[in-house]
Structure 1
């Protein structure tokens, strides 16, 4: 199913700028990851940044981009994206946020915080 998930260090992904994953840290991680490749660019000139692509086991491709202190992952997920990208979130001391409002780690759903 087509879906968007967010990697963030905050309770709500839209507050990512309050406790950001720094762009430089994200770029270093993504450039070193053998499962990610640059598939395009966002922005122009000195402000542009790469769009990273990840090919899933079923050959579907998802995109990963940094935005205001968080990482957005968009695409078609044929399996549980939380388990697939949970280690990425844990690397940054973050959790995964689904569009459904849930928060997840690589091991499963986190209880509501409020």
Structure 2
């Protein structure tokens, strides 16, 4: 799946700034996670933030970074999105949502709310 996923506390990922995952909360989590490795830096406006890499069950590597209150997951993988990233969303008491608004849950993929 070559697609962008969002870990967000908001009902819709584009509203993440209203119910944010704090940057320092994300960085502390990423630094102590045994499955994430810092992969370099990314610039958002004038700020430099680290991005992290994760190796999926199928061997593909995706990147994770914080942006405007959400954790953004980018890359190509062939596995089940919830199996790969559901635990991360649960750790933040957040939703795992795709670009089209669908939600990935333990019960399967749920359609967009609207």
Settle same-fold status: TM greater than 0.5: yes
What number of residue pairs does the alignment pair up? 113
* 2:37 aligned with 1:10: no
Cα shift at 1:111: 6.2
Aligned ranges 1:56-71 → 2 under 5 Å: 56-71=56-71
Give the match for residue 102 of structure 2: 102
User: For structure 1, which runs of at least 5 residues remain unmatched after alignment?
Assistant: none
Q: Runs of at least 4 residues of structure 1 off by over 6 A?
A: none
Q: Aligned partners of 2:49, 2:104: CA distance in 1, in Å? A: 27
Contact 1:36/1:52 (<8 A) preserved = yes
Q: Which deviates more, 84-93 or 99-108?
A: 99-108
TM-score (norm 1): 0.89
Contact 2:6/2:98 (<8 A) preserved = yes
Q: Aligned partners of 1:101, 1:36: CA distance in 2, in Å? A: 25
* 2:108 aligned with 1:89: no
* 2:41 aligned with 1:41: yes
Let me know the Cα RMSD of the aligned residues.
1.9
Deviations 1:56-101 (A, max 9, x none): 1232100001000001101111111122101111111101111222
Contact 2:101/2:113 (<8 A) preserved = no
Q: Judging by fraction of residues, say which structure has more strand.
A: 2
Q: Aligned partners of 1:62, 1:40: CA distance in 2, in Å? A: 13
User: For structure 2, which runs of at least 5 residues remain unmatched after alignment?
Assistant: none
